[in-house]
């Protein structure tokens, strides 16, 4: 079996052959930390998490880098306008680094909740200003970039390959927004590598050109090459980053090194909400912390993986509720397997014929090998769950077989897809309060039947477990914890 993945650069599925055998260097564009994460972040990082997990399960040693953009890049596609962290800082009356600190934490909280493995390094843009300056120096020295009034721009005309990823060279027209800045550029397509800081710009560093700050694109080139080398295997990100961000990354990196930057470009598709694009102006942005109040994070993860990473994902409450029920069915099967493992061994023969674990594993791997087709891989789990349930009803599995089934679910749905935990919460079970209410009702009935000894035994049994039962004069009974 061979892993194929869709490479945006070539617009086709390609056989995956990493540059060094058994080692994979992978970089994914991380968040700009000026607000809480939304469902779009979840889609992107769950997608790449499954890719990392699958590559590791196939034996690759993956070094996974995901940056934190804590230099607040300018609003607007044209890289003009206001700095996002500065703006948020002003709103919250905080230093931009406090904003970055708070939302970096918030980001990882949400990603941890979604079962996303942490990147091996999460380099901060502010932590790599020197590396960015060094790269810009190289581009200026090589004639690919020019200075203008303390800012430095990449000259797109010098890079004949520009546009090879996205097929685009020009940003959508946004004329007249900040004419004086644009006029610094030799050509409107040129993009900023370094910007001279206006007096009100708090985040600023000395450089050979001005006290300023790096442009939007240079950090990803500098940090990916620092930790993965000048050429590496996989670069990922959201589809909306293809142009201009990734196109600019390629231009900067390949002009500076003369080497191919990235072998495989992987882009995840976006999330819509009720069929419409998610946007601040529509007010339909699904923040994760809010979503988690209604749906458990693993349900959100399951919902995301039910569609392919290159498909759009439409968020509706109905879809989420469906996902919740679907995942619970899968979990219930695993729970039943684990409970059956505690009982006496089954009679083996009857149900065995139903169940083809090896075949299922093969189909699972084929699905994942086909451009990480998680929805198809999930379908395999449901198929096998149906057979397992039928077999369980027949009490048909031996202890060894049950362990094998459990291991199958853990390896496929657990380690690779991150949907089946080693310990399943005992979901849907009653809590202590409900049981105590029932227990006291029973005791009332016992007393009504004048079984005083049993009534006392219940009281004493509960006392041993740490509950004090109090019988009021009016015949009612209450309980409280005694320790």
Interface with a copy of itself (CB under 8 A): 63, 94-95, 97-98, 101, 105, 118-124, 126-127, 129-130, 134, 205-206, 227, 332, 335, 339, 426-432, 434-436, 438-439, 441-442, 445-446, 449, 451, 454, 457-458, 461-462, 465-467, 480-481, 483
- Between the alpha carbon of residue 193 and those of residues 146, 190, 217, 238, 365, the distances in Å are 9, 10, 7, 22, 43
Which DSSP helix (H) or strand (E) runs through 385?
Answer: helix 374-393
**Residue with Cβ nearer a copy of itself (277 or 347):** 347
Rounded Cα distance between 250 and 31, Å, is: 19
State phi, psi for 201 to the nearest 5 degrees.
-80, 115
What is the nearest approach in angstroms of a copy of itself to the Cβ of residue 195?
A: 16
Closest to 406 (Cα-Cα) out of 431, 426, 423: 423
Question: Taking the CB of residue 64, how many other CB atoms lie within 10 A of it?
Answer: 24
What is the nearest approach in angstroms of a copy of itself to the Cβ of residue 127?
A: 3
What is the nearest approach in angstroms of a copy of itself to the Cβ of residue 445?
A: 5
**Residue with Cβ nearer a copy of itself (282 or 438):** 438
What is the nearest approach in angstroms of a copy of itself to the Cβ of residue 179?
A: 32
**Residue with Cβ nearer a copy of itself (376 or 477):** 477
Closest to 239 (Cα-Cα) out of 47, 109, 25, 81: 47
**Residue with Cβ nearer a copy of itself (89 or 244):** 89
Question: Taking the CB of residue 145, how many other CB atoms lie within 10 A of it?
Answer: 26
What is the nearest approach in angstroms of a copy of itself to the Cβ of residue 2?
A: 28
**Residue with Cβ nearer a copy of itself (202 or 348):** 202
Angle among Cα 404, 409, 411 to the nearest 5 degrees reads 90
Rounded Cα distance between 1 and 439, Å, is: 57
Q: How far apart are the first and last CA of the chain?
A: 59
**Residue with Cβ nearer a copy of itself (77 or 109):** 109
The tokens for 408 are 């199958």
Rounded Cα distance between 143 and 156, Å, is: 11
What is the nearest approach in angstroms of a copy of itself to the Cβ of residue 63?
A: 8
What is the nearest approach in angstroms of a copy of itself to the Cβ of residue 17?
A: 24
What is the nearest approach in angstroms of a copy of itself to the Cβ of residue 225?
A: 14
β-strands 23-28, 12-15 pairing: unpaired
What is the nearest approach in angstroms of a copy of itself to the Cβ of residue 276?
A: 36
What is the nearest approach in angstroms of a copy of itself to the Cβ of residue 180?
A: 28
Helices and strands in the chain, H and E counts: 16, 15
**Residue with Cβ nearer a copy of itself (308 or 331):** 331
Angle among Cα 251, 263, 43 to the nearest 5 degrees reads 90
Distance from chain centroid for Cα 204 = 31
**Residue with Cβ nearer a copy of itself (262 or 458):** 458
What is the nearest approach in angstroms of a copy of itself to the Cβ of residue 244?
A: 26
The tokens for 141 are 């020295």
What is the nearest approach in angstroms of a copy of itself to the Cβ of residue 66?
A: 10
Q: Are 150 and 213 in contact (CB under 8 A)?
A: no
Rounded Cα distance between 386 and 365, Å, is: 19
Rounded Cα distance between 285 and 289, Å, is: 12
**Residue with Cβ nearer a copy of itself (18 or 40):** 18
What is the nearest approach in angstroms of a copy of itself to the Cβ of residue 339?
A: 6
Burial of 160 per CB tally in 10 Å (0-12, 13-18, 19+): exposed
What are the b/e assignments for 164-184, b being 16+ CB within 10 Å? ebbeeeeeeeeeeeeeebeeb
**Residue with Cβ nearer a copy of itself (11 or 453):** 453
**Residue with Cβ nearer a copy of itself (98 or 184):** 98
Which DSSP helix (H) or strand (E) runs through 470?
Answer: strand 467-471
**Residue with Cβ nearer a copy of itself (34 or 265):** 34
Question: Taking the CB of residue 435, how many other CB atoms lie within 10 A of it?
Answer: 11
**Residue with Cβ nearer a copy of itself (186 or 480):** 480
């Amino acid at each position: 079996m061979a892993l194929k993945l869709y490479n945006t650069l070539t617009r086709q599925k390609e056989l995956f052959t990493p540059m060094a055998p058994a080692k994979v260097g992978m970089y994914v564009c991380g968040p700009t930390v000026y607000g809480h994460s939304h469902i779009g972040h979840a889609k992107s990082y769950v997608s790449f998490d499954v890719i990392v997990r699958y590559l590791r399960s196939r034996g690759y040693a993956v070094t996974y880098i995901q940056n934190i953009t804590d230099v607040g890049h300018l609003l607007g596609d044209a890289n003009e306008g206001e700095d996002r962290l500065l703006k948020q800082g002003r709103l919250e009356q905080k230093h931009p680094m406090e904003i970055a600190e708070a939302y970096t934490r918030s980001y990882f909280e949400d990603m941890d909740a979604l079962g996303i493995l942490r990147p091996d390094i999460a380099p901060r843009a502010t932590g790599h200003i020197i590396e960015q300056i060094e790269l810009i120096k190289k581009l200026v020295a090589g004639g690919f970039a020019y200075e203008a009034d303390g800012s430095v721009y990449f000259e797109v005309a010098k890079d004949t390959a520009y546009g090879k990823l996205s097929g685009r060279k020009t940003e959508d027209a946004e004329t007249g927004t900040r004419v004086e800045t644009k006029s610094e550029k030799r050509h409107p397509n040129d993009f900023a590598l370094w910007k001279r800081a206006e007096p009100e710009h708090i985040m600023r560093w000395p450089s050979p050109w001005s006290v300023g700050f790096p442009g939007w694109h240079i950090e990803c080139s500098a940090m990916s090459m620092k930790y993965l080398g000048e050429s590496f295997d996989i670069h990922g990100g959201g589809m909306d980053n293809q142009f201009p961000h990734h196109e600019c990354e390629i231009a900067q990196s390949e002009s500076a090194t003369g080497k191919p930057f990235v072998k495989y470009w992987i882009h995840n598709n976006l999330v819509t909400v009720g069929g419409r694009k998610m946007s601040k102006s529509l007010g339909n942005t699904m923040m994760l912390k809010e979503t988690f109040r209604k749906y458990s994070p693993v349900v959100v993860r399951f919902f995301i993986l039910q569609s392919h990473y290159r498909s759009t994902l439409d968020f509706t409450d109905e879809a989420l509720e469906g996902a919740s029920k679907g995942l619970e069915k899968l979990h219930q099967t695993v729970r039943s397997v684990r409970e059956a493992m505690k009982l006496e061994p089954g009679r083996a023969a009857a149900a065995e014929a139903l169940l083809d674990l090896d075949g299922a594993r093969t189909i699972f791997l084929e699905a994942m090998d086909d451009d990480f087709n998680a929805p198809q891989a999930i379908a395999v789990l449901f198929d096998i769950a149906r057979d397992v349930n039928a077999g369980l009803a027949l009490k048909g599995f031996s202890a060894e077989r049950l362990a094998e089934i459990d291991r199958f679910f853990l390896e496929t749905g657990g380690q690779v897809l991150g949907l089946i935990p080693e310990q399943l919460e005992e979901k849907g079970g009653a809590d202590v309060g409900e049981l105590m209410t029932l227990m006291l009702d029973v005791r009332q009935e016992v007393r009504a039947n004048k079984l005083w000894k049993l009534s006392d035994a219940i009281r004493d049994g509960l006392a041993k477990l740490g509950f004090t039962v109090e019988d009021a004069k009016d015949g009612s009974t209450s309980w409280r914890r005694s320790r």
